[in-house]
A and B are shown apart, each in its own frame.
Chain A
Amino acid sequence: DTAVSQTPKYLVTQMGNDKSIKCEQNLGHDTMYWYKQDSKKFLKIMFSYNNKELIINETVPNRFSPKSPDKAHLNLHINSLELGDSAVYFCASSQDSNSWNTGELFFGEGSRLTVL
């Protein structure tokens, strides 16, 4: 039973389209995250939610909108996709009760987005 699961694992789409990536965790964690890993393997935080509330929002274009219907789910919707959005997007969760990572982050397997 996968602890943090993301769908889809692969997504190929055209510029200008809108797409969503879904994430679910069954660990009972309060905090969930989206990270972006670019072609140079650099991992950068995008968003963090604690108990459905947005607590970290890094400098990310408005075209990216996270949605957390409940604390076990954090979805990422991207509007008007651009070539530069091509990356691997990782969802993660942690037990922390606030925005501070004091414990292990549990990562999903990643969703590879390719924008043509």
Chain B
Amino acid sequence: AQKVTQAQTEISVVEKEDVTLDCVYETRDTTYYLFWYKQPPSGELVFLIRRNSFDEQNEISGRYSWNFQKSTSSFNFTITASQVVDSAVYFCALSEAGTALIFGKGTTLSVSS
């Protein structure tokens, strides 16, 4: 069973639009961690955020914000006023006890000017 689902394969927006990337996860553990990583066209993987299962506070970092909702097993990522430099593949990931990071299949975001 897929543990991390990113239903949006590709999203295209125009600069300055807001965009939300969805992530739904599945786990039976009560303690787990959720992550978002960014992979720009250059190929490296860049850490964006980590959340543990006991901290449902939403987080904002500049134009980025994250909405963690245990009730719906979702950890969505919103980019406000998107820019061309935000174009990348974004991965949501889950960490459970005894496992390495399990990644979703990624969402490719294209921001055009």
Contacts and interface: CB of A to CB of B under 8 A. Distances in A.
Interface of A: 33, 40-45, 48, 56, 88, 90, 92, 99-107, 109-110
Which of A43, A44, A105, A107: most chain B CB closer than 10 A? A43
Interface stretch (B12-20, B60-68, B77-85, B96-104): B96-104
Contact of B47 (A40, A90, A105): A105
A109 B102 CA distance: 19
Interface residues of B, number: 23
Contact of A48 (B44, B96, B100, B105): B100
15 contacts: A33-B100, A41-B39, A41-B89, A41-B106, A45-B99, A45-B101, A56-B100, A92-B45, A100-B96, A100-B99, A101-B101, A105-B101, A109-B43, A109-B44, A110-B43
B45 A107 contact: yes
Contacts of A100: 95-99
A44 B102 CA distance: 7
A90 B39 CA distance: 12
Contacts of A110: 43-45
Nearest to B96: A100
A106 B45 CA distance: 8
Contacts of B97: 100
Contact of B33 (A40, A42, A101): A101
A99 B98 contact: yes
A101 B95 contact: yes
The 8 A-B residue pairs with the shortest CB-CB distance, nearest first, are: A101-B95, A107-B45, A43-B103, A45-B100, A104-B47, A101-B101, A48-B100, A41-B106
